[in-house]
Chain A
Amino acid sequence: MTAVHDQTVVLRYFAWLREKTGLNEERLALPAEIVTVGDLLNWQPTRGHPFDLAFAKPEAIRVALDHAHAKPGAAIAGAREIAFFPPVTGG
């Protein structure tokens, strides 16, 4: 198998991130230089409006890779679905 660098993923947004981005989800190819969850959080606000506003405080945003919580240092390689959301408030 040849090396494949295509990082086509589904990005999903919840709660106020869904409202601020105006998106439930989107499918896109991530730039190859995005390796970790932290890279992704820093990249989002560089996409322009409305992502600059929605991701103005990346430290306040939580990320899940394929339905599991992920820390900023986690590698995103292989993830098919990446979700962004505020700290959870159920119960």
Chain B
Amino acid sequence: MAVRVSTSDFDISAEMARLTNADTGVGGVALFVGKVRDHKDGEALTELVLEHYPGMTEAELERIEAEAQRRFDLSASLVVHRVGSLKPGDNIVLVIACASHRQNAFAAAEFLMDYLKTRAPFWKKEVLASGESHWVDARESDDEAAAAWQTAKR
């Protein structure tokens, strides 16, 4: 179980090996990578700036991860989120969920992302090719996705 905030990129293979090498009881690993798109509403995007709240970010990610562990009986998990200036194609976030069986691994990865997107204190600012920049608005669909877990069976 680990969370990390970093300005530098992550090595997906190395992170996955670190989680699974020590535990041969793991039967399924689900992995999600969020990346910077090169466009926004048809306009070219040149930069994505990620701000966060040091201290609260780690605390909130740990709370989210503990909840995923409780719900899905994970053997191991990892959340890495980048901050600072990112370019199109760059990785933003990595979530890895390891469980005995695939259903829990898949569900946990989705749960971690849905909660991260609505609770972890990160904010994105988009810089467009025109030079214009703006803070990204939160999406109602993200709130709905996170809320759906509260009425889920487990």
Contact = CB atoms under 8 A, between A and B. Distances in A.
Contacts of B93: 90-91
B124 A89 contact: yes
Given A15-B135, A16-B135, A67-B59, A90 B53 contact: no
B123 A14 contact: yes
B89 interface: no
Contact-residue bracket for chain A: 10 to 19
A14 B59 CA distance: 17
A68 B56 CA distance: 7
Given A16-B135, A83-B53, A83-B56, A89 B123 contact: yes
A88 B123 contact: yes
Contacts of A12: 53
B53 A89 contact: no
B51 A15 contact: yes
B55 A67 contact: yes
Nearest to B123: A15
Nearest to A12: B53
B3 to A, nearest CB: 12
Contacts of A87: 137-138
A15 B138 CA distance: 13
Contacts of B56: 64, 67-68, 83
B81 A14 contact: no
A86 interface: yes
B41 to A, nearest CB: 16
Nearest to A18: B51
Q: Which 6 A-B pairs have the closest CB atoms?
A: A90-B122, A87-B138, A15-B123, A67-B56, A91-B117, A89-B136
Interface of A: 12, 14-16, 64, 67-69, 83, 85-91
22 contacts: A14-B51, A14-B121, A14-B123, A15-B123, A67-B55, A69-B60, A85-B123, A86-B138, A87-B137, A88-B118, A88-B122, A89-B122, A90-B50, A90-B81, A90-B116, A90-B117, A90-B122, A90-B123, A91-B34, A91-B81, A91-B92, A91-B122
